[in-house]
């Protein structure tokens, strides 16, 4: 009996020790785990493939769409002014919907409510381009998501999802990205999972992709059922990760291996 009590106490201690979040001073962007070539590619706008989507987004910003025949610029004018700092606060609380909305979700709400246009598909060239263009206006600014008190329960849900074991491999995000970052998984460094540069250009994808795409890939990696694009769970995970990265600088469009 004493033996089992000891085991239980040891297990509880191990659980407590592992559940710790990364201290502020130790937080690192995925950028810092990359080799010099990938860093150079991100740093040089003429070499960063993500800038192609940003340029597309700049053109789309001016294009009229929907039965309202309005462009983004018709309401928001110059994105370089009106969108500055916006992405750093996303996902944001939508009072009408009573839930958090990520940047892609916001763009699609704008389309349906104001342009009277059909929503753009997740991972479509147009949605990635507009999202990248809006987010690029906050490049270098500190992430400040999760402020709104209405978001608190959703941040908590995201954290719960982050620490919930799932899939055939029975792993939680936290097992790798809180507890084992900077160790090697099949030779590649495990990052902290700080979402500082989305949408970003992933060399593995040969494309720009959203944070939701990345999360789905990780979830499939642990052999769990990936949440659908736009599902509440993915937005809650995005929100938790952005609040966890509070104060870190936005890098969109980042480059990652």
Partner 1 sequence: MARSAPIALLAAAMLAACPAVRADGLRPYVVVGDAIPVSLTGTNGDATRGRALIVERSSTCILCHSGPFPEQAFQGDLAPNLAGSGNRWSEGQLRLRLVDAAHLNPATIMPSYYRVDGLSRVGNAWRGKPILSAEQIEDIVAYLVTLRD
Chain residues that interact with partner 1, rule: CB under 8 A: 11, 14-15, 18, 164-171, 175-176, 179-180, 183-188, 190, 220, 223-226
Cis peptide before 91 (omega within 30 of 0): yes
27 is in an annotated binding site: no
Q: Which is nearer to partner 1, 81 or 188 (CB)?
A: 188
φ, ψ of residue 158 in degrees (nearest 5): -60, -40
Q: Which is nearer to partner 1, 84 or 229 (CB)?
A: 229
Q: How far is the CB of 28 from partner 1 (least distance, A)?
A: 18
Instruction: Name the packing angle between helices 232-244 and 152-162 (round to 10°).
Output: 90
Q: Which is nearer to partner 1, 55 or 171 (CB)?
A: 171
Q: Which is nearer to partner 1, 71 or 175 (CB)?
A: 175
Cis peptide before 199 (omega within 30 of 0): yes
**Is the torsion defined by CA of 243, 246, 252, 256 positive or negative?**
negative
Cα 56 to Cα 46: distance, rounded to the nearest angstrom: 15
Cα 255 to Cα 48: distance, rounded to the nearest angstrom: 7
Cα 90 to Cα 104: distance, rounded to the nearest angstrom: 10
Q: How far is the CB of 184 from partner 1 (least distance, A)?
A: 5
Cα 210 to Cα 192: distance, rounded to the nearest angstrom: 17
Report the Cα–Cα distance between both ends of the chain, in Å, rounded. 51
Q: How far is the CB of 165 from partner 1 (least distance, A)?
A: 7
6 is catalytic: no
Q: How far is the CB of 24 from partner 1 (least distance, A)?
A: 24
Catalytic residue among 55, 218, 222, 224: 218
Cα 106 to Cα 101: distance, rounded to the nearest angstrom: 6
6 is in an annotated binding site: no
Annotated binding residues for heme c, as ranges?
72, 75-76, 110, 173, 176-177, 218
Annotated binding residues, as ranges?
72, 75-76, 110, 173, 176-177, 214, 218
Annotated binding residues for substrate, as ranges?
214
| Residues designated as active site | 218
């Amino acid at each position: 009996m004493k033996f089992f009590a000891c085991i239980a106490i040891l297990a509880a201690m191990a659980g407590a020790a592992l559940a710790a979040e990364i201290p502020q001073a130790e937080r690192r962007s995925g950028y810092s785990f990359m080799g010099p070539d990938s860093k150079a590619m991100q740093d040089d706008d003429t070499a960063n493939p993500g800038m192609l989507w940003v340029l597309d987004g700049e053109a789309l910003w001016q294009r009229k769409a929907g039965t309202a025949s309005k462009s983004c610029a018709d309401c928001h004018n110059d994105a370089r002014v009106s969108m500055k700092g916006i992405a750093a606060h996303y996902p944001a609380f939508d009072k009408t919907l009573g839930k958090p909305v990520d940047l892609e979700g916001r763009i699609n709400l704008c389309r349906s409510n104001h342009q009277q246009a059909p929503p753009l598909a997740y991972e479509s060239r147009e949605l990635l381009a507009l999202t990248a263009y809006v987010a690029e206006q906050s490049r270098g600014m500190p992430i400040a998501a999760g402020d709104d008190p209405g978001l608190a329960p959703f941040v908590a849900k995201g954290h719960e999802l982050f620490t919930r074991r799932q899939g055939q491999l029975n792993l939680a995000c936290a097992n790798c990205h809180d507890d084992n970052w900077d160790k090697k998984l099949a030779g590649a460094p495990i990052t902290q999972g700080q979402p500082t540069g989305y949408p970003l250009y992933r060399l593995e994808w040969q494309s720009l992709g959203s944070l939701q795409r990345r999360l789905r890939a990780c979830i499939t990696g642990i052999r769990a059922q990936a949440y659908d694009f736009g599902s509440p769970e993915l937005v809650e995970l995005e929100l938790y990760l952005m609040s966890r990265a509070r104060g870190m600088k936005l890098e969109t469009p980042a480059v990652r291996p």
